[in-house]
Amino acid sequence: MNSNRRHFLKLGSLAATAWGFPKAISAATTPPHVLVIGGGFGGATVAKYLKMWGGNIDVTLVDRAASHYACILSNLVVTGALSMDRIKLKYDSLRSKRGVNVVQGEALAVDPSAKEVTVKVNGTSYAYSYDKLVLAPGIEFIAPPGNYNDQLTPHAWKAGPQTLLLKNQLSSMTKGQTFVMTIPKAPYRCPPGPYERACSVADYLLRKKSGARIVVLDANASIQAEPVNFGNAFNGVYKDVLTYVPNASITEVDSQARSITTSAGKFAGAVLNIIPNQRAGQIITTAGLANDLTGRWSTVDPLSYASTAQPDIHILGDSQATGQPKSGHMANSQAKVCADAIIRAFNGEQPDPNPVTSSACYSPITSKTAAWLTASFQYDPATKTMKRVDASFAEAPKPSGDALEEMYKWANNIFADSFA
Ligand SMILES: Cc1cc2nc3c(=O)[nH]c(=O)nc-3n(C[C@H](O)[C@H](O)[C@H](O)COP(=O)(O)OP(=O)(O)OC[C@H]3O[C@@H](n4cnc5c(N)ncnc54)[C@H](O)[C@@H]3O)c2cc1C
């Protein structure tokens, strides 16, 4: 194990516990109510830890869906290596074991002065009140120019029906056809994820569809994560089937024709997998909380994930703009810092002044190997930002079978720590 990885594991194990656990809220007081919108990695984790650490606290978790499909491992569903059931995460444990009130509904609007959220449940709108609100709605897409239609040219960047749509399109390809995919301009959900998809699809085409090819159109100037391992794979094992095109921003999409015009030329394929540019989940924009310089993400205080615009509204996971990577592991880590800070605030205390967060991503490179990327972040009081701990930042020295096995164990752990 190299020293960066040891450092990462050491820091990761400290996350949210260095300051000690928060004091549970006294049973003698009226329980405060925390409303959480979005039951993905950020929302499920914050709901669980608020109940685990908070004692006398009511937590309601609202999600559009009856269960969550993890994006983590979903590229392997696209290639048929895993089933949808492997990435299906139910809310049963949060309900029965943790005592979270889980509601299937859609949050439509936030009223910070009344401390209420309008939630549509089974076609009827209700006002849900809160003492503290947590928004963890993930991402929304910015539609590219043209007649873009995600039913014809799927993104599969939110797991669920889109994952199956892309899987079916890939498996219908015939030998000799082309799979074209786009990579959005950073920042976007899961920095290594698109390159991981490119490798998984290239591996599938090599094994199952001889003569078929993949073209990867990257809106960025270069590979955004794990450049050594992905670069070696693109130029090595996949050199005969994969063409990587940097600086390819989309200027027009024709979903009907499955063709795309970019700043690097015009391309067409039997499958066109467009992963559009991204912004914070829609409810954040609707609530006027997408307040960073780009107007796409939310600025927050990384000591508590409280919005810089509304101190009783906390925003975490992919929607926040702290500069930390948009990953499920990171959303889980931020959620623990946030739960800790909310409980302390109910007790009249200050948040932990020195939080640490961490993230790991495992990427299959071939059907038999994977690589990984790790990073930890520590609060810097001088700049009031989360700074990457350079000694923790590393990518796997090379893809390996051991890392592939580790990937499944890591995924099981992060699934259980967030949802069970
Ligand atoms: C292909 C791929 C591979 C990935 N691999 C990894 C990996 O190896 N490691 C890793 O750490 N991360 C990985 N990620 C990234 C990870 O999936 C995301 O970063 C993570 O899901 C973000 O968590 P979140 O809580 O912010 O959002 P999500 O997990 O997307 O959860 C948001 C939830 O909010 C709900 N919601 C949104 N709006 C509303 C509303 N108005 N009302 C009700 N509910 C609402 C949605 O239904 C959803 O369930 C990967 C992503 C992709 C696409």
17-50 pLDDT tens trace: 456 788 899 888 899 999 999 999 999 999 999 9
| C-alpha–C-alpha distance, residues 382 and 413, integer Å | 34
| Helix (DSSP H) and strand (DSSP E) numbers for the chain | 10, 25
CA distance 349 to 152: 52
**Residue nearest atom 41 of ligand 1, based on CA coordinates:** 107
Superfamily for the 3-138+281-419 domain: FAD/NAD(P)-binding domain (3.50.50.60)
Q: How far apart are CA 194 and CA 217, in angstroms?
A: 10
Pocket test for ligand 1, best of 128, 189, 418 (most atoms within 8 A of CB): 189
Q: What spacing in Å lies between the alpha carbon of 174 and ligand 1's midpoint? A: 32
pLDDT at position 13, please? 46
The alpha carbons of the chain give a radius of gyration, in whole angstroms, of: 21
* CA 126 – ligand 1 centroid, Å: 25
Model confidence, pTM: 0.96
| Alpha-helical regions (H) of 15-100 | 41-54, 74-78, 92-96
pLDDT confidence of residue 398: 96
| Residue with tokens 């991981």, as numbered in its chain | 196
- Residue 24, judged by CB atoms within 10 A of its CB (0-12, 13-18, 19+), counts as middle
Q: To test ligand 1's pocket by mutation, which of 62, 71, 358 has the most ligand atoms within 8 angstroms of CB?
A: 71
Region(s) of the chain under CATH 3.50.50.60: 3-138+281-419, 142-277
Cα distance between residue 164 and residue 294, in whole Å: 32
> Which atom of ligand 1 approaches the CA of 44 most closely?
25
Task: Give residue 70 CA to ligand 1 midpoint distance, Å.
Answer: 7
pLDDT at 1: 52
| Choice from 49, 72, 361 to test ligand 1 binding pocket (greatest atom count within 8 A of CB) | 72
CA distance 295 to 297: 6
Cβ atoms of 130 and 117 within 8 Å: the answer is yes
37 Cβ neighbours under 8 A, 6+ residues apart: 43, 62, 107, 117, 133, 134, 135, 136, 137, 283
**How many angstroms separate the alpha carbon of residue 130 from the centre of ligand 1?**
23
Query: According to the model, what pLDDT value does residue 149 have?
Result: 98
Q: Domain spanning 142-277 has what CATH number?
A: 3.50.50.60
Handedness of CA 36, 39, 41, 44 (dihedral sign): positive
Q: Name the phi and psi angles at 268, rounded to 5.
A: -145, 155
pLDDT at res. 18 = 55
Q: How far apart are CA 161 and CA 151, in angstroms?
A: 10
- Give the distance (Å) from ligand 1 centre to CA of residue 38: 9
Distance (Å) of CA 399 to CA 73, 243, 396: 16, 20, 7
Atom of ligand 1 nearest to the CA of 189: 19
In this prediction, the residues of the chain whose per-residue pLDDT falls under 70 are 1-19
* Per-residue pLDDT tens over the stretch 352-386: 999 999 999 999 999 999 999 999 999 999 999 99
DSSP 86: G
Asked whether the bond before 161 is cis by omega within 30 degrees of 0, the reply is no
Q: Which atom of ligand 1 is nearest to the CA of 329?
A: 11
State which H helix or E strand residue 12 sits in.
helix 3-14
Residue nearest to atom 17 of ligand 1 (CA): 71
Which protein residues are within 6 Å of ligand 1, measured from CB?
37-43, 62-65, 68, 71-72, 74-75, 106-107, 136-138, 157, 189-190, 193, 281, 283, 317-318, 326-329, 331, 359, 361-362
For the CA of 65, the closest atom of ligand 1 is 47
Identify whether the C-beta of residue 164 lies closer than 8 Å to the C-beta of residue 150.
no
Q: Which of ligand 1's atoms lies nearest the C-alpha of 194? A: 1
- In angstroms, the CA 378 to CA 374 distance is 14
In this structure, the residue with its CA closest to atom 4 of ligand 1 is 72
- CB contact at 8 A, 329 and 414: yes
